[in-house]
């Protein structure tokens, strides 16, 4: 990591801004020491009330950077350097990735094919597996918390890379819980400041739904691509619905099981495709070996052709970050309504109940959603919703939000 005595602006020459969001600005830059292109993110200023808080913010920032700098996966941007000004401005230096983020690709080229979405999903799962596993002292488990198309870069080779870990939201010097929300991609429990690993799976499901429909997911609504008339198989449609279930207990248990399901769905679409044995083996020691099976990558990723040129950028939805003390009045109102007595309280539905209902009205596995079977799909989802009780606090929260929305 860098020395405290340095001239940051001499070492890095800022070229031009390439993105700006709620958490900071991103610039193209050049490392003057080796004339290599890089990307620098300048964080928004942190509101601190004393020199002690400023020092604590710096400590938390450097701790986060140290953790991220140790990440070693082909699907994660490399963190090269950092700098903190005397006045509390934070800079993070990252490698430059050639390509476009998925939000921009969607905006310029429209929805992904189901094939491409599955290949993207497999890669995302592999990266989440790496982040979620705990290899202390090498690496603690990391909850990403802001998975969405605008944070995923697609290279011309068809590789998906996580490019934004939003450090600014992690090192706020406050004793209160920090809540990080991106409408449409954040699950209900994240609104309560209680995200877990399956929260990243919800965001994965919302992202996959966005890819195949071209429509941003509605906040706190289970995604069912067939309801947008997306040409997807029943199995892929059902997996996305499970991933975006309101309750974490109704989602798949981990990213690895989702990856296995995606490979099986791909084989369902392409019966001649043989799933490599290593897919179902324990995670490889080398994550370069684990990174998407070369066999499936050789089939190509049509959307990757768009990554070879610079597309007009499209800015995706930004995350909101706030503490309990700074909670927006609209969110506070939601919490207030949750505490009001309900006329009917029922028990939480279990995943096997949902799957039983699906099996009762199951279409052939390879059948693609069309206008003709859309009514059947909607009827099926209505049946599921009617039999799905909602005792959990986030289900009550979802009902309040959708009723008011």
Q: Cα separation of 68 and 122, whole Å?
A: 22
What CATH number does the domain containing 249 carry? Answer: 1.10.510.10
Enclosing domain of residue 171 = 100-321
Are 47 and 105 in the same domain? Answer: no
Give dist(CA 52, CA 56) in Å, integer: 6
Residue 105 lies in a domain: yes
- Strand 160-162 versus strand 12-21 pairing type: unpaired
Mean pLDDT, rounded, for 89-97: 91
pLDDT at 371 over 50: no
Quick one: average pLDDT of 154-167?
87
Q: What percent of the chain has pLDDT over 70?
A: 68
The CATH code of the domain that includes 29 is 3.30.200.20
Answer whether residue 380 is part of any domain: no
49 assigned to some structural domain: yes
Domain count, the chain: 2
Give pTM, 2 decimals. Answer: 0.79
Evaluate whether residue 88 is within a structural domain. yes
Cβ-based burial of 334 (10 A; exposed 0-12, middle 13-18, buried ≥19): middle
Among 55, 80, 95, which residue terminates a domain?
A: 95
Same domain, 84 and 115: no
pLDDT tens string 23-40: 678 899 999 999 999 999
Q: What is the pLDDT of residues 386-404, one digit of tens each?
A: 334 445 555 565 555 555 4
Domain boundary among 301, 321, 341: 321
- Same structural domain for residues 22 and 136? no
Residues 189 and 212 grouped into a single domain: yes
371 in any annotated domain: no
Give the per-residue pLDDT at 400: 55
Same structural domain for residues 25 and 170? no
Asked if residue 191 and residue 87 are part of one domain, the reply reads no
Domain membership of residue 13 (yes or no) is yes
- 42 and 167 assigned to the same domain: no
- Predicted pLDDT at 283: 63
Q: How far is residue 31 from each of residues 5, 66, 76, 144, 165, measured CA to CA in Å?
A: 17, 20, 20, 28, 22
- Regarding predicted confidence, which is higher, 298 or 114? 114
Q: Is residue 251 part of a domain?
A: yes
**Same-domain status, 13 and 122:** no
Residue 378 in any domain: the answer is no
Yes or no: say if 43 and 24 are a contact pair by the CB < 8 Å rule. yes
């Amino acid at each position: 990591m860098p020395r405290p005595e340095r001239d940051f602006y001499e070492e890095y020459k800022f070229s031009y801004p390439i993105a700006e969001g709620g958490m900071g600005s991103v610039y193209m830059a050049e490392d003057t020491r080796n004339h290599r292109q890089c990307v620098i993110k300048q964080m928004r200023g942190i509101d601190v009330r004393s020199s002690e808080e400023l020092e604590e913010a710096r400590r938390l920032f450097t701790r986060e950077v140290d953790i991220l700098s140790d990440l070693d996966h082909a699907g994660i941007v490399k963190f090269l350097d950092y700098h903190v000004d005397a006045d509390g401005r934070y800079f993070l230096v990252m490698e430059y990735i050639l390509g476009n983020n998925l939000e921009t690709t969607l905006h310029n080229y429209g929805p992904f094919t189901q094939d491409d979405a599955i290949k993207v999903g497999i890669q995302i799962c592999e990266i989440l597996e790496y982040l979620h596993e705990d290899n202390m002292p090498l690496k603690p488990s990391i909850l990403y918390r802001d998975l969405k198309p605008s944070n995923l870069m697609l290279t011309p080779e068809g590789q998906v890379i996580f490019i934004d870990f939003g450090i600014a939201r992690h090192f706020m010097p406050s004793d209160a819980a920090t809540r990080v929300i991106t409408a449409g991609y954040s699950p209900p429990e994240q609104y309560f400041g209680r995200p877990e690993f399956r929260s990243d799976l919800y965001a994965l499901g919302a992202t996959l739904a966005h890819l195949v429909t071209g429509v941003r997911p509605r906040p706190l609504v289970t995604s069912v691509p067939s309801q947008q008339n997306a040409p997807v198989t029943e199995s892929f449609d059902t997996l996305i619905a499970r991933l975006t279930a309101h309750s974490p207990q109704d989602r798949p248990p981990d990213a690895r099981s989702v990856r296995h399901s995606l490979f099986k769905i791909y084989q369902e679409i392409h019966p001649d495709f043989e799933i490599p044995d290593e897919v179902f083996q324990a995670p490889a020691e080398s994550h370069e070996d684990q990174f998407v099976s070369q066999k499936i990558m050789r089939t190509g990723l049509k959307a990757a052709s768009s990554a070879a040129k610079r597309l007009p950028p499209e800015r995706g939805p930004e995350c909101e970050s706030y503490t309990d003390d700074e909670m927006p009045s609209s969110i506070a109102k939601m919490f207030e309504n949750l505490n009001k007595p309900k006329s009917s309280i029922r028990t939480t539905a279990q995943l096997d109940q949902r799957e039983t209902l699906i099996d009762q009205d199951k279409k052939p596995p390879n059948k693609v959603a069309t206008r003709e079977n859309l009514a059947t799909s909607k009827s099926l989802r209505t049946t599921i919703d009617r039999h799905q009780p909602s005792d959990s606090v986030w289900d009550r929260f979802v009902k309040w939000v959708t009723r008011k929305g």
